[in-house]
């Protein structure tokens, strides 16, 4: 197979003219940095198992995706979709390439859903700064940390830019990448899928707070709109989960880095890049602020690995697939070890 893309977490291989293979690595990425200095043992195997579990589970519920089959313990086979990247022109991204309503390509939006807010959420602060955004979200007042949304609240952000940015309805309309009815379908499908995932996680004591999904445009329908296919991957790197009060997702890794100089520098460098209308905030972080991500301790690596393995076991057991790891690797064991690890941060 031909390697066509090496990402921060997974690699893409071309299998044939129609299909790709997602090879999940033990690498991880937080705060949009890309590949971090450590690897997490068996993370790739856990992510591949969970992706297969979730896509197969949703297929039984009637939701289309690009998933074809599990390919190996660390990979899945998927249908290929084109990625049409916007051009950087005069300090902004140009989405002209989407104006002809292409099919069989990635929707250049990340779709964020929120079931529960929680303290310290970003939405509350953003709405206070921009009250006009309330109407976009169908809200009458600014929510707080105790707010629960039924159905899920859905937001949209950029997907193919160097830093994600939330988008208003007006901004999406000006990008001219999809119709109003396609945007509504994207919102409704996300709400239904998030509800299915919430019920699945609740069956083994895990709370789903929020997450992000990605879609592709499929074939054109009779009304001129395009079908929507769920793509990319589903797992703890795309979802925010908790188990008995502890973060059971990439948020756990974020907390391990929360009080580091590098994390502070990332925030500052993104602000500076926005002011300068620059894409390269990482260069500012590395070259101007002199900060790189620190390596994790052996203990933190071990408990992070257990997070992925335990969750993969739980998900596989619920959807009827074979557990990928020893059965004693479960969430109760992870919770005991994670409590100790976070106390040292």
- Looking up residue 302, the CATH number of its domain turns out to be 3.30.470.20
Tokens 């779709």: give the residue.
Answer: 111
- 159-172 burial: b if 16+ Cβ within 10 Å, else e: beeeeeebbbeeeb
Tell me, rounded to whole angstroms, the distance of Cα 173 from its chain centroid. Answer: 23
Is 286 within a domain?
A: no
- Give, as one character, the DSSP assignment of residue 287: I
Enumerate residues 6+ apart whose C-beta is below 8 A from 29: 8, 9, 35, 36
Is 50 within a domain?
A: yes
Enumerate residues 6+ apart whose C-beta is below 8 A from 207: 116, 201, 241, 242, 243
175: containing domain: 2-257+293-343
pTM: 0.89
**10-60 confidence digits (pLDDT tens):** 999 998 878 999 999 999 999 889 899 999 999 999 999 999 999 999 999
Asked whether the beta carbons of 242 and 253 are under 8 A apart, the reply is: no
pLDDT at residue 43, rounded to an integer: 97
Is 223 within a domain?
A: yes
**198-248 confidence digits (pLDDT tens):** 999 999 999 999 999 999 999 999 999 999 999 999 999 999 999 999 999
Is 245 within a domain?
A: yes
Asked whether the beta carbons of 186 and 157 are under 8 A apart, the reply is: no
| Predicted confidence band of residue 121 (pLDDT cuts 50, 70, 90) | confident
Using CA atoms, how far apart are residues 148 and 69, in angstroms rounded to an integer? 35
**pLDDT above 70 for 316:** yes
Tokens 């697939």: give the residue.
Answer: 321
pLDDT at residue 17, rounded to an integer: 78
Residue percentage of the chain with pLDDT more than 70 = 99
Is 84 within a domain?
A: yes
Segment holding 212, helix H or strand E: strand 206-220
Is 134 within a domain?
A: yes
What tokens appear for 303 in the block? 């408990």
Is 288 within a domain?
A: no
How many structural domains does the chain have?
1
Is 25 within a domain?
A: yes
């Amino acid at each position: 197979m031909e390697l066509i893309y090496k990402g921060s977490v997974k690699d893409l291989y071309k299998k044939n003219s129609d299909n790709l293979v997602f090879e999940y690595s033990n690498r991880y990425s937080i705060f949009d940095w890309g590949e971090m200095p450590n690897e997490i043992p068996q993370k790739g195997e856990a992510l591949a198992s969970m992706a297969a579990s979730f896509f197969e589970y949703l297929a039984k519920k009637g939701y289309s995706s690009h998933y074809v089959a599990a390919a190996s313990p660390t990979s899945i086979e998927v249908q290929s979709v084109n990625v049409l990247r916007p051009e950087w022109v005069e300090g902004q991204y140009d989405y002209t390439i989407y104006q002809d309503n292409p099919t069989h390509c990635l929707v250049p939006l990340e779709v964020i859903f929120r079931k529960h807010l929680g303290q310290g959420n970003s939405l509350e602060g953003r709405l206070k700064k921009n009250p006009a955004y309330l109407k976009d979200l169908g809200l009458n007042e600014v929510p707080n940390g105790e707010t629960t949304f039924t159905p899920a609240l859905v937001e949209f952000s950029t997907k193919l830019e160097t830093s994600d940015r939330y988008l208003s309805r007006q901004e999406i309309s000006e990008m001219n990448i999809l119709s109003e009815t396609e945007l509504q379908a994207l919102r409704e499908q996300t709400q239904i899928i998030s509800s299915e995932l919430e019920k699945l996680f609740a069956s083994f004591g895990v709370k789903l707070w929020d997450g992000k999904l990605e879609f592709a445009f499929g074939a054109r329908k009779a009304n001129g709109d395009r079908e929507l296919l769920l793509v990319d991957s589903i797992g703890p790197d795309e979802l925010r989960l908790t188990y008995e009060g502890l973060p059971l997702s990439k948020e756990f890794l974020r907390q391990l880095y929360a009080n580091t100089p590098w994390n502070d520098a990332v925030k500052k460098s993104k602000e500076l890049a926005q002011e300068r209308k620059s894409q390269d905030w990482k260069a500012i972080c590395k070259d101007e602020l002199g900060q790189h991500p620190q390596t994790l301790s052996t203990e933190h690596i071990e408990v992070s690995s257990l997070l992925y393995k335990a969750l993969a076991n739980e998900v596989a057991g619920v959807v009827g697939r074979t557990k990928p790891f020893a059965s004693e690797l479960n969430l109760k064991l992870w919770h005991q070890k994670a409590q100790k690890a976070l106390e040292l941060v």
